[in-house]
Structure 1
């Protein structure tokens, strides 16, 4: 059996434990940077996958993030940010992690082989949904079982793996191959492989948000402002895009019940809240188009 790339020994790691700390630290950092570069070859798959995710959200379907171990944590991290960053409704996001999301510092490794309960957890999976399955090896039993269920139910399947010819990638409608180099700490995919996975997941979800109209000139115009920092950010976004003073932006945000896009249309075009909402509804939530129609 040929060892997977994620299990290979890094050529510069021989004698690692005998080197000066600064040299080890530099090697560790360089390993992460090299791993991050692997996402450059995934752009076509990322683009197609993000469109599938946007279609799912747009038609009321559910995004299912699936993984085990470090890959599961990367998937969960992306999923848990979608509500606050882009106001994706919680009912449209699911996280399926082998053994469940950890509540303490221990994460049992044996759970990645345990598929019990997965079929029940994905019982309501449908063709309207998208499954984002992440596995460094591309052969994790838990993740593959979820991929099989996705195929059986007709759901879109995005597979993210770090080994060429991985079974997960062969199954996926949208295969994201992250050809990361061997880990400086052999087999520790929480390092380079996980770094590349996080970047790919962030690319997918952010591009999805662009398709949904939740990004305007690099600003999060569908942010859920539920703390002081985010309320200040939302106010700044309204002021900048609508070209109004911050006080006027705050008034618009209050009147818009915290809806950033609605507040922008109100402040920029001087229309009432319901009229702004109607414009956004007519343009499927795309702010730029709504502003153009209101001009």
Structure 2
């Protein structure tokens, strides 16, 4: 068997194997079919949970990069790449973090988000060029269900050549690209419910891992106070209402007072929150926050808000 044919067979890739629990699903009535598909997700959380140590290590590595001013890069193709794009772009409205700090690269470019770009995932050279453009303080986070996608291989290899930190997420415990990663997150999601359709189990696990990674990173970087988003960009009425509600939830003041604080603070949640919790004016709130800027190394208070409140008495 030639290496190329062996690759196409995918005998060593779990997602390419037949799933015994979904054999014969085309014979089922709709209700039973839906139940069978839902049941197939039962093991995904356990598979991800088994990788909590590696995922924690990935967050810690990303924190080192963040403090050094580095950029977190995602690289992937197809469904994996699209999930990475979703995770990256949602950080801007949620945490005020844009492409200058977290950036996603989809094989085939932006057009591949909506339409398949033939051969893009096989373009190792494009991945290599991307990885080689990173700075040593950056992170390359490769996402691939099979653990062998050439575009991701190139991205990891190129990033390594620059001294950047490399992370791999794959649904293959024996992923060959793990050799190119400083940290490998490999949830064993097993055979897909539809053989080879990694938009199912593997993609669900990837979504959980990516969301957990970026959320943990944002919390550690001081983008939340308790479980409230303090850097959310209120660009519509729903989000403006959310910012008012967060001030109310955290402080117990009235919605009218919360709205007034936010207006006075120019829509910035942190000073409005300190004003509400400490009962001080905007100038005092800003001065206290300036003395305690966000710091992931400040135990128990990465945002600095608790320290600012303590300083205000």
Normalising by structure 2, we get a TM-score of: 0.87
Whole-angstrom distance in 2 between the partners of 1:257 and 1:191:
43
What root-mean-square deviation, in Å, do the aligned CA atoms of Structure 1 and Structure 2 show? Answer: 1.9
Say whether residues 1:19 and 2:37 are aligned partners: no
Q: What is the 5 A alignment of 1:198-209?
A: 198-209=207-218
- The structure, 1 or 2, with the larger RCO (C-alpha pairs under 8 Å, 6+ apart) is 1
Whole-angstrom distance in 1 between the partners of 2:312 and 2:111:
48
Check whether the contact 2:127–2:158 (CA below 8 A) recurs between aligned residues: no
Residues 78-135 of structure 1: per-residue CA shift (max 9 Å, x gap): 0011111111133222221110133674213521001344455445411221122100
Show the counterpart of 1:235: 244
Q: What SS is found at the alignment partner of 2:141? A: strand
Show the counterpart of 1:128: 137
Residue 307 (structure 2) aligned to one of 285, 289, 292: 289
* Deviation for aligned residue 1:274: 4.3
Check whether the contact 2:131–2:140 (CA below 8 A) recurs between aligned residues: no
* Deviation for aligned residue 1:3: 2.8
Check whether the contact 1:66–1:75 (CA below 8 A) recurs between aligned residues: yes
Question: Gaps (5+ residues) in structure 2?
Answer: 1-5, 295-302
Q: What SS is found at the alignment partner of 2:246? A: helix
Whole-angstrom distance in 2 between the partners of 1:208 and 1:234:
21
Check whether the contact 2:75–2:143 (CA below 8 A) recurs between aligned residues: yes
Whole-angstrom distance in 2 between the partners of 1:228 and 1:28:
37
Q: Name the CA shift for 1:39/1:143 in 2 (closer, same or farther; >3 Å).
A: same
Q: Name the CA shift for 1:14/1:81 in 2 (closer, same or farther; >3 Å).
A: same
Question: Gaps (5+ residues) in structure 1?
Answer: none
Say whether residues 1:189 and 2:198 are aligned partners: yes
Q: What SS is found at the alignment partner of 1:32? A: coil
Q: Using the TM superposition, name which of 178-187 and 14-23 deviates more.
A: 14-23
Q: What is the 5 A alignment of 1:154-233?
A: 154-233=163-242
Q: What is the 5 A alignment of 1:56-75?
A: 56-75=65-84
Q: What SS is found at the alignment partner of 1:37? A: helix
Check whether the contact 2:127–2:152 (CA below 8 A) recurs between aligned residues: no
Q: Name the CA shift for 1:35/1:56 in 2 (closer, same or farther; >3 Å).
A: same
